[in-house]
Amino acid sequence: MCTHAASAAALSAAIDLASTTRSATRGSATLYQGTGVVTGATVTGVRRDGHGRSVLLKTALGGERELACGQILVAAGRCPVAADLNLAAVGVRTGGRGEIVTDARQRTGNPRIWAAGDVTGGPPYVYTAAAQGSVAAGNALFHSERAVDYSALPRVTFTSPAIASAGLTEAELVQSGVACDCRVLPLESVPRAIVNRDTRGVVNWSPRRQPAGSGACTPLPMGQGR
């Protein structure tokens, strides 16, 4: 794993990550406990002068903004680091980003070698690495012939409050033509949040629309908050 040098592009990616909260907040920007989130923005530069630092943005609507800040933290940009392992010598293929290429069962180009985790270039979450590791070990040791199912991959960002989602987002559902009974539920209405005495945030709930009278639902939540 490597961390890229600070760059406007990486910072842009970091800010784009915030777009996962866009449908939950129903806006291009929100102010939450003193923290602003600007979605759909592209970082065009950073500036430092006698008064401090600032980040220059092009917004989703094409306007420009300058955000004054004390410090700039770039928290995006990782890539697999496997080049020094000479994997080609044992027939393990790597891809364009240096990732180890596996099939759906985590088997590499060498049928006796399996790989899992960030180095394989999949969604970079701890849950992905854990699931892939379990599948790889089962396939290598017990010939389980299993594959990881990503359809409900939990995507949890360890912030406080947390940002988490699983399944398809509202935007993805709409884009795929699936009718959705999407709604936003404030955590003030969630008993667990009330018991925790922490009702910050919302749950963006995106169940597929069911035929009238079926009474069934398929929960595909995308949540923000605890």
Ligand X SMILES: Cc1cc2nc3c(=O)[nH]c(=O)nc-3n(C[C@H](O)[C@H](O)[C@H](O)COP(=O)(O)OP(=O)(O)OC[C@H]3O[C@@H](n4cnc5c(N)ncnc54)[C@H](O)[C@@H]3O)c2cc1C
Output the smallest distance, CB 13 to ligand X, in A: 13
Q: Name the closest residue to ligand X (Cβ).
A: 117
Nearer residue to ligand X within complex by CB, 149 or 181: 149
Q: Coil, helix or strand for 31?
A: strand
**Which residue, 38 or 119, has its beta carbon nearer to ligand X?**
119
Cis peptide before 161 (omega within 30 of 0): yes
Question: Min. distance of Cβ 218 from ligand X in angstroms?
Answer: 24
Task: Tell me how far apart the alpha carbons of residues 62 and 225 are, in angstroms, rounded to a whole number.
Answer: 30
HEC assignment per residue over 33-63: CCEEEECCCEEEEEEEECCEEEEEEECCCCC
Number of other CB atoms surrounding residue 63 within 10 Å: 9
Rounded distance between C-alpha atoms, residue 132 and residue 124, angstroms: 11
Q: Which is nearer to ligand X, 89 or 216 (CB)?
A: 89
Separation of CA 96 from chain center: 21
Name the amino acid, one letter, at 143.
H
Six token digits for residue 171? 């935007």
d(CA 72, CA 48): 11
Helices (H) and strands (E) in the chain, counts: 5, 12
Measured from the CB atom, the residue of 65 and 200 that comes closer to ligand X is: 200
Shortest distance (Å) from residue 77 CB to ligand X = 10
C-beta closer to ligand X: residue 4 or 47 = 4
Binding residues (CB under 6 A) for ligand X: these are 1, 117-119, 124-127, 129, 156-158
Query: Measured from the CB atom, is 140 or 180 closer to ligand X?
Result: 140
Question: Which CB sits closer to ligand X, 40 or 133?
Answer: 133
Please report, in angstroms and rounded to a whole number, the separation of the first and last CA atoms in the chain: 29
**Shortest distance in whole angstroms from residue 1 CB to ligand X:** 5
114 near 107, Cβ under 8 Å?
Answer: yes
Question: In the complex, what is the shortest distance from the CB of residue 143 to ligand X, in angstroms, rounded to a whole number?
Answer: 23
